[in-house]
Structure 1
Amino acid sequence: MSLRPLIRGWPWLAGVLLLAIAAAILAGALAQRRTIAQQQIEVTQDARLRAALLDSEIARFRLLPLTLANDRDISAAIAGTGAARPALNRKLEALARVTGAPAIYVVGPDGWSIAASNWRSPRAFVGIDYHSRPYVRQAEARGEGSHFAIGSVSQRPGLYLAARTATGGVTVIKLEFDRIERAWARSGGISFVQDARQRILVTSRPGWRFATVTRATAPAAGTVALVPLGDGRVRIGGAPASYVAQMVPVSQPGWQLVQMRPVDRAVAAARLFAAAAAGASVLALGVIAWAMRQRVLATRRRTAELEAAVAERTADLRREAAERALSDARGAELREALRQANRLASLGQITASVAHETAQPVAAIRTYAETSRMLLDRDEPDEVRANLRTIAQLADRVGVVTAQLRAFSRRQTDELRPVSLAEVIDGALLIVREQLRDAVLDRPAIDPALRVVGGKVRLEQVLVNLVQNALDALAGRAERRITLTLVEEESRVRLRVADTGPGIDPAIAAGLFKPFNTSRAAGLGLGLVIAQDIMTDLGGWLHHLPAPGGAVFEIGMRRA
């Protein structure tokens, strides 16, 4: 091949080379902007996920101080009655172990702590003056309080959540974020939470804790400088590395989460790739154009190959764009589903409770109504009147149950009074009388003068639940027998409900009294939970007793 054409065309080749350099510079700048924009989108999503994780951690413990505010044991400990305070220490210790709370303690009206979950520790929070703590003063003034600080006893930072008790004391739970900080550190980048004064509280870099965020290029001691670079990036003080940063709000008032991701390496790689691709493309076009002057046929073949490569790459890019759009839409859908689940959680539990507790009386009302229609056809008005009286009693029971569920949602407790156990059993069996037609019921003779402490409707509610569960277990069995057994003691009365069913599945028995734990396809898993809560409120108990055949439950009541 002759070099003469190449020598004659060197100015043209030099122009092509300069054009390639300019294209590489322009492509690098565009690639940098695109990379930073994409990194900002990703760091925003990352920040929102980490904020959601932090919110869920705080939400797990936020209601606990309010829940303990009306606790009888805490009221007794504040009053200083008997061995209430040692017992409260043990109770708080068990509660902290179950919930995973670092510390739970109770402050008396005088500002001195009287009980704590870490009472066994050399650095126990018992006997300490807390009256000057901000969260204690806030709880005493407004009913609730929160404050982030380093503990004066534990010397560990944490968020203190407090609530005023009914007797003038304050319950406090300390929430530490070590686990979240370690998770943030493992995930890469820099994460921290700042308060309204831009003071860093929770961070993946422990050395930054309690430092103040500033934009000064020469930061003072106790500050962290995040200097804007003008293109969506920031720099930490005078360090050479740059980051993309995004700030999102947190549920704790005044808190904001800042997520930072190093971007220099990604920008450099994108610039290098884009510059090389652009320069190579321009040079390739120049070589192709130059080659076209030498060999037309070869130029056409190479042009066709290049077009095919460009078309394939365009198709790949379109597929990638479609996949990314689908992924973003799915992510948005999942996040909305999570928010919707959180919104419906509380409402669903209350609705399920109302439906569960009124289902049996409503079913009984329907049965009596159907029976009354047949009795009218047979011209038996006395029987119809008896059924109507029973329907009225059942309707009253539905009203009492819903009223008690509303009272339970307002955290109120009914006054306990002596009730006749015989009337309780009669009232419960009235509701399930129709279902008992195909079963054998053995019940003891009970002295009408035998009285227990409680509420008649709520005790009926517990007994109806146990009998209904027994009837469900006996469905389809040849022997359908339910036995009620009474055991009287000096201060307590035990009523046992046994059936001849298949018994409790061991897989269910371990969590029998946990919400939504059921072996029935149509069951809610709330009946035993509600029944046990009722018996606890009445000062009694509800236990499952092991038995060689069938299921046995024991209701324990205080004797009046």
Structure 2
Amino acid sequence: MNRRHGLYWLVAALAAALVAGSVAGEVVRRRSAAAFAASVAADARLRQALLDSEIARFRLLPQALADDRDVIAAARAEPGAVKRLNAKFETFANRIGASAIYLIGPDGFSVAASNWNRRESFSGRDYRFRRYYRDAMRSGGGAQFALGTVSHHPGLYLARKVAGSSVLVIKLDFDRIEAQWRTAGGETFVTNADGVILVTSRDAWRFAMTQPIDTAAQQAVAADIGAPGLKPRPYTIDREGLVRMDERRGALQLASSPPSRDGWQVNLAQPIRVAVTTPMRSAQVMAALLALLAVGAVWWLAQRNRRRRERTALLEAAVTERTAELRREMEERAALEHRAALLREELRLANRLATLGQVTASVAHETAQPVTAIRNYAASAGHLLDQGASGEVRENLSAIDRLAERIGVITAQLRGFARKGIAGEGGAGSVLLADGLDGARLLLKERLAAVRYETPDIPAGLLVRGDKVRIEQILVNLLQNATEALAGHPDPRITITLALEENVNEDEDEEGKAQAVCLVIADNGPGIAPEIAARLFTPFATSRAEGLGLGLVIAQDIAQEFGGSLRLLPDEAARGLMPGTGGAAFELRLRLA
């Protein structure tokens, strides 16, 4: 009888384990499936945002290049313009990562292209059949995803009408994004408004349909893309909405992001075998074990009445503790997912704040010099006023007025930088080089008085490309750095030399004509340490505790914006300019206006 009774308990325990495992597995499966579906949907939206960001980076480029003088010159068939534009397109395409940049003339044939020197060059090709060309000619702009007729490589073509009846086109391919998607796992693909796959981590899926399209519409879409035809949907969807593929085992969870303004939609299919099945199996085993333990404990307590209350209390404590651990694990997982979302947002915020921080630091750095000069002039004016030198006082007040005006111009320029987000949008005029040197000498009058300062004779009427304030910024930064390096030197010297250079730009048509002026600012100070020189033109690189490390970065950016350059000369060159000393020498090249 006892043996039969024990068998009954064993059967009951197994049945309870099966029921508990089944129920717990189903509950966990549903929760895990819902959580996994939400995670896939969030990932799809994130990939959509990255794709939109990549396209937005190129969308305004045709408009920005529309006013380029070489583009306008090539569109007007000016002599030598096509050669310059080919080189410019090639450099620009390599710099921004564009697949191709080319200009289509009024007759529909390509005039210049970034791949002009390759076998598959776009130059001289007929593009009248392309929709983006017709749209640009009709409405001023066009966009089309199509298969390249020359490269046979798909991409997004962004077109803009320029210079009358010419069209500027930038081709953007998605090879890098597709490679990232393949590395991330799952199946990622982008569909257009017709449901046709354009961009995908699986090449075999390209130009496949994801929804029924009638025959006439299929032919129209294929012709527009430039594909021989559209492929059938490469996967199936079961009754539960899960994706099934012949080449992959198991089901995939499919999520789609909201369509963009162009009708593009990112779709992401992730395998759910590990993400959902593993927690379900674990829950089933755990629930079954708990059920077996519970039934065994009840049977054991039934046989041992004396210890029933004690064993029951222990069992309840064990179940409560385990349940609390499971709850904590679920809460920790939810907290981690929430924290990951917050970190992504904080990274985006940090990127924006970094830009504003550099602008703020630049304002402090660039206005510190005029403010110091104003204080010096004001102090000097007080002494001169006591001495009755009213004429010199007026000169000091006039200098203070000019410096205050300079501060206003600097802050206005930097406010424009903060609003626009990039430098160099103000354009470049022309300025007398002598005025730039005089302005820098005005700002650093007190500092330069403490050194032997030698400057060359500046030819009258020598104009350089730029504006007066920012040319002064470059010279003030270089001269101030030199005076600070010479602090405490027994014989401090700063020497500026000037030379005119020819043909610094291969695109110039006139040979033998001076195209640039080269200024070399040298001092006989201790020089620059090698570890600092290696990163001298990177933000916040400085050897002075009170320095910001932004002056040379800003100076180099200004010089490059005006078509020039700024660099540190090797030690041998510096010693040649200052024989018998160490010192540092900077070479500033400026384009002649």
Q: Which range, TM-score by smaller chain?
A: 0.7 to 0.9
Question: 2:226 is matched with which residue?
Answer: none
Moved more, 519-528 or 383-392: 519-528
Does the aligned pair in 2 maintain the 1:119–1:125 contact within 8 Å?
yes
Asked if residue 545 in structure 1 is aligned to residue 569 in structure 2, the reply is: yes
Which of 270, 285, 290 matches 1:261? 270
Question: 2:518 is matched with which residue?
Answer: 494
Asked if residue 554 in structure 1 is aligned to residue 551 in structure 2, the reply is: no
**Following the alignment from structure 2 to structure 1, what is the Cα–Cα distance between the partners of residues 484 and 335?**
47
**Superposition deviation, residue 154 in structure 1:** 0.8
Does the aligned pair in 1 maintain the 2:210–2:232 contact within 8 Å?
no
Does the aligned pair in 2 maintain the 1:215–1:226 contact within 8 Å?
no
How many pairs were matched up? Answer: 549
What do the CA deviations read for 1:121-158 (whole angstroms, capped 9, x no partner)? 21111111234434444555665543322112111112
Which of 463, 473, 476 matches 1:452? 463
Question: 1:41 is matched with which residue?
Answer: 38
**Following the alignment from structure 2 to structure 1, what is the Cα–Cα distance between the partners of residues 558 and 313?**
82
Question: 1:483 is matched with which residue?
Answer: 495
Q: 1:201 to 1:70 in 2, by over 3 A?
A: same
Q: Where do 1:86-485 residues align within 5 Å?
A: 86-139=83-136, 144-165=141-162, 169-214=166-211, 221-224=231-234, 227=237, 229-230=239-240, 233-236=241-244, 241-249=250-258, 253-297=262-306, 303=312, 306-307=315-316, 309-314=318-323, 316-317=325-326, 319-321=328-330, 323-344=332-353, 347=356, 355-373=364-382, 375-376=384-385, 381-401=390-410, 406=416, 411-416=425-430, 419=432, 421-446=433-458, 449-454=460-465, 455-475=467-487, 477-485=489-497
Moved more, 198-207 or 143-152: 143-152
Q: 1:105 to 1:524 in 2, by over 3 A?
A: farther
Does the aligned pair in 1 maintain the 2:190–2:265 contact within 8 Å?
yes
**Superposition deviation, residue 441 in structure 1:** 1.5
**2:495 maps to amino acid:** T
**Following the alignment from structure 2 to structure 1, what is the Cα–Cα distance between the partners of residues 140 and 487?**
52
**Superposition deviation, residue 318 in structure 1:** 5.3
Q: 1:215 to 1:224 in 2, by over 3 A?
A: farther
Moved more, 146-155 or 336-345: 336-345
Q: 1:53 to 1:223 in 2, by over 3 A?
A: same
What do the CA deviations read for 1:271-308 (whole angstroms, capped 9, x no partner)? 33333333333333222222222223565665465445
**Following the alignment from structure 2 to structure 1, what is the Cα–Cα distance between the partners of residues 167 and 456?**
48
What do the CA deviations read for 1:49-83 (whole angstroms, capped 9, x no partner)? 43454345445544544443333333333333333
**Following the alignment from structure 1 to structure 2, what is the Cα–Cα distance between the partners of residues 326 and 478?**
65
**Superposition deviation, residue 227 in structure 1:** 3.1
Identity level (%)? 49
Specify the SS of the correspondent of 2:90: helix
Moved more, 407-416 or 57-66: 407-416
Does the aligned pair in 1 maintain the 2:254–2:267 contact within 8 Å?
yes
**Superposition deviation, residue 487 in structure 1:** 3.1
Does the aligned pair in 1 maintain the 2:32–2:279 contact within 8 Å?
yes
**Following the alignment from structure 2 to structure 1, what is the Cα–Cα distance between the partners of residues 61 and 146?**
19
Moved more, 467-476 or 28-37: 467-476
Q: 1:122 to 1:309 in 2, by over 3 A?
A: same
What do the CA deviations read for 1:373-398 (whole angstroms, capped 9, x no partner)? 55556665444322211111122333
**Superposition deviation, residue 118 in structure 1:** 1.8
Q: 1:152 to 1:510 in 2, by over 3 A?
A: farther
TM-score by length of structure 2 reads 0.79
**Superposition deviation, residue 429 in structure 1:** 0.4
Specify the SS of the correspondent of 1:278: helix
**Superposition deviation, residue 356 in structure 1:** 4.6
Does the aligned pair in 2 maintain the 1:191–1:203 contact within 8 Å?
yes
Q: 1:331 to 1:177 in 2, by over 3 A?
A: same
What do the CA deviations read for 1:352-373 (whole angstroms, capped 9, x no partner)? 5555544432332233234445
**Following the alignment from structure 1 to structure 2, what is the Cα–Cα distance between the partners of residues 513 and 160?**
36
Specify the SS of the correspondent of 1:127: coil
**1:482 maps to amino acid:** I
Question: 2:507 is matched with which residue?
Answer: none
Q: 1:69 to 1:351 in 2, by over 3 A?
A: farther
**Following the alignment from structure 1 to structure 2, what is the Cα–Cα distance between the partners of residues 48 and 475?**
58
Does the aligned pair in 2 maintain the 1:138–1:145 contact within 8 Å?
yes
Does the aligned pair in 1 maintain the 2:301–2:311 contact within 8 Å?
no
Does the aligned pair in 2 maintain the 1:75–1:167 contact within 8 Å?
no
Question: 1:24 is matched with which residue?
Answer: 21
Alignment gaps of 5+ in structure 2: 214-229, 502-512, 576-581
**Following the alignment from structure 2 to structure 1, what is the Cα–Cα distance between the partners of residues 540 and 67?**
26
Question: 2:47 is matched with which residue?
Answer: 50
What do the CA deviations read for 1:74-120 (whole angstroms, capped 9, x no partner)? 33333333333233323332333333333222333443222222222
What do the CA deviations read for 1:485-540 (whole angstroms, capped 9, x no partner)? 23357735433211223434545555655666655566555544544454456565
**Following the alignment from structure 1 to structure 2, what is the Cα–Cα distance between the partners of residues 142 and 439?**
64
TM-score by length of structure 1 reads 0.83
**Superposition deviation, residue 312 in structure 1:** 4.7
**Following the alignment from structure 1 to structure 2, what is the Cα–Cα distance between the partners of residues 56 and 509?**
36
Specify the SS of the correspondent of 2:242: strand
**Following the alignment from structure 1 to structure 2, what is the Cα–Cα distance between the partners of residues 370 and 540?**
38
Moved more, 530-539 or 18-27: 530-539
**1:227 maps to amino acid:** I
Does the aligned pair in 2 maintain the 1:214–1:226 contact within 8 Å?
no
Q: 1:195 to 1:518 in 2, by over 3 A?
A: farther
Moved more, 100-109 or 53-62: 53-62
